[in-house]
Amino acid sequence: MTENKKRPNPIDIHVGSRIRLRRNMIGMSQEKLGEQLGITFQQIQKYEKGTNRVGASRLQAIGGIMNVPVSYFFEDAPRDGAGGPEFGEPPAPSFETDFLSTTEGIQLFRSFTKITDPKVRRRVLDLIKVLAAEEE
């Protein structure tokens, strides 16, 4: 008898990763998001892993809480057939998602967005470019 475990759909995995990304960007815990939705943090974990599919009304509620349109959760989503990964194959994570899933990435994002002076922002960006070039 073969074991037939259903793998999460690549779109569900992508939507979940976008929920996690946005939640981390705004500094919200799984507990806080779950509380605002009236569900447990374990359910949020399942959504973020793609294990459980997020329904349309729930996704709209999440977007409202996180102040993003529903379309945000589908940005860069894999497409079946149209040059995207094969069905059942997990989507390749994007550089932005990988970067903003790290503690350093989140801290850098939050700190950089607090800088209001465009000249200072430009200097910070120039500094990062110089440091990155030194690494090569």
Beta-carbon count within 10 A of 23 CB: 19
The total number of structural domains in the chain stands at 2
Residues 95 and 128 in one domain: no
Domain residues for the domain of 29 are 1-101
pLDDT > 90: percent of the chain: 46
Residues 86 and 111 in one domain: no
Residues 26 and 1 in one domain: yes
Rounded CA Rg of the chain: 18
Residues 107 and 97 in one domain: no
Residues 80 and 108 in one domain: no
Q: What per-residue confidence (pLDDT) applies to 94?
A: 62
Contact at 8 Å (CB) between 12 and 36? no
Residues 1 and 34 in one domain: yes
Residues 78 and 109 in one domain: no
pLDDT surpasses 90 at 75: no
Q: What per-residue confidence (pLDDT) applies to 62?
A: 97
Please compute the mean of the pLDDT values over residues 89-101 and round it to a whole number.
61
The burial class, CB within 10 Å (0-12 / 13-18 / 19+), for 42 is: exposed
Residues 109 and 49 in one domain: no
Residues 56 and 1 in one domain: yes
Residues 63 and 80 in one domain: yes
Say which CATH number the domain at 61 has.
Answer: 1.10.260.40
- The pTM (predicted TM-score) of the whole model is 0.67
Please compute the mean of the pLDDT values over residues 40-56 and round it to a whole number.
94
Residues 9 and 57 in one domain: yes
Residues 111 and 69 in one domain: no
